[in-house]
Structure 1
Amino acid sequence: MSGDKVDPFNIKRRGLMLVLSSPSGAGKSTIAREILATDPNITLSVSATTRPKRPGEVAGLDYHFVDTSEFNLMVNRGEMLEHAKVFDNYYGTPRKPVMDALAGGRDVLFDIDWQGTQQLAEEAKDDLVRIFILPPSTKELEERLKRRAQDPADVVAKRMAKAADEMSHYPEYDWVIVNNDVNESVHQVRSILTSERLRRSRQLGLGEFVKHLRDGQ
C-alpha cells in the first residue's frame, strides 16, 4: 500500500460539524437552508425534540418528534451529543448519525443554541466550526420575529427577553457574522466552510502524500 501512487485529489478528509447559532429571528435558519440547498457535501443534523410539530414540518426530516420519556431515555443511554431545554421543550442531537457522517468525510450542519454548542465542544472540539449570527439591530430582530407569524405575542416577548443573554455568548464562537443582508451572510458562511475544509488537520493522508512528493514521486 505504501508503494502506491497517491492522487492528491483523492486525499480523504474527515468531515466537520458546522454550527450556526443566533438569537431567534436573527436569520440562522434561513442561512442554513440556503447552504444546504446549494452544497451537496453538507447535510443537516436532525435533532430530536419534545415540542409539538409545526405546520409543514415533516417528522424525521425537520425533527425527530419524541415524548419527554423517550427523550430522557436517549439521554440516559448516552445517545445524545448534546441536549438542552429551550422554552419549555427539550432538544438534542443523536450521536450515531453525526459520527458516522464525519468518519465518512461528510460535513454536518447544526442549527443549535450556545448551550448545545458548549456540549458539542466538550464531545468533539476538533471537529467543530462555530459561527454566531448577530442581527443588525434589536429593532430589526423584533420585526423579524413578528414577520415570521409562527409564534404568539407572548412567545415573541420571551424570545426578545432572552436574546440579550444569547448574544452575550458570541466570544465562544470561532466566527461572527452580522446578518445585514442574507445573501452576503450566506456568501460569508460559504467562505468559512471552504477554508475550514482545507484545514491541514482534516486532510487525512496528507502526510503520506507529502512524503511521496519529497521522494520525487
Structure 2
Amino acid sequence: MTAQTMSPLHVTVVVGSNRHGRFGPVVADWLLGRVRAREDLTVDVLDVAGADLPTSMARTEEAAAALSGVTPKLAAADAFVVLTPEYNHSFPAGLKNLIDWHYSEWRAKPVALVSYGGLAGGLRATEHLRQVFAELHAVTVRDTVSFHGAAGSFDGEGALKDPTGPDAAARTMLDQLTWWGRALREAKRRHPYGE
C-alpha cells in the first residue's frame, strides 16, 4: 500500500437538517464520537443550519460568496457521512439545496448515510439520497445507521440508552466507508475520474 492509501481519510460529516428544534445535533454528537474514535479517519463538520446557502440556483457573485465557506469543506473531503432526518418520506430541502449547489465535490467519493425519524427511522430519506448521489457519480455504502423513534433512543443527556446495535452498525458502516474511500482515493490518484 502507498503512504496515501494508509494516511487517514478526511471525512466530512454533513448534518442535513436546518429545522428549528431539530434532533439532528443529538445524533450528530453520537456519530462524531464514533468517527473521532478511529485513527484511520479525520473529521470536519458541515451543518446545513449554519451554512449560508443561496435560495436561488442562479450563479451570481452573491451565490459564490455565500458558498465560499461550504464548498472548500466538501472539496477537501475524501468521503462523507450524511446525517438526515425523514421529512414527508424524504430528506430535507436544505440538504437538497446543499447537494444541488455542488457537483465535482461529490464526484467519485463514497457517502455513508445515517438517518433518524419515527417508525421508519429515516430509511425512506436514505433511499432517496442514494438516487441523488448516484446521479452525482458518488458511491453510497451499503450499510446505514438508522434510529427508529430517535427521541426515545437517547436519554436527556444525549447518550444512547442502548448503544450496542447502533455502535455495531456504525462500525460496519465506517469500515465500508473507509474501504471505499481508500480505494477511490488511490484509483483517482492513478487515473482521475472521467478522464
TM-score by length of 2: 0.48
Q: Which has the higher contact order (CA 8 A, sep 6+)?
A: 1
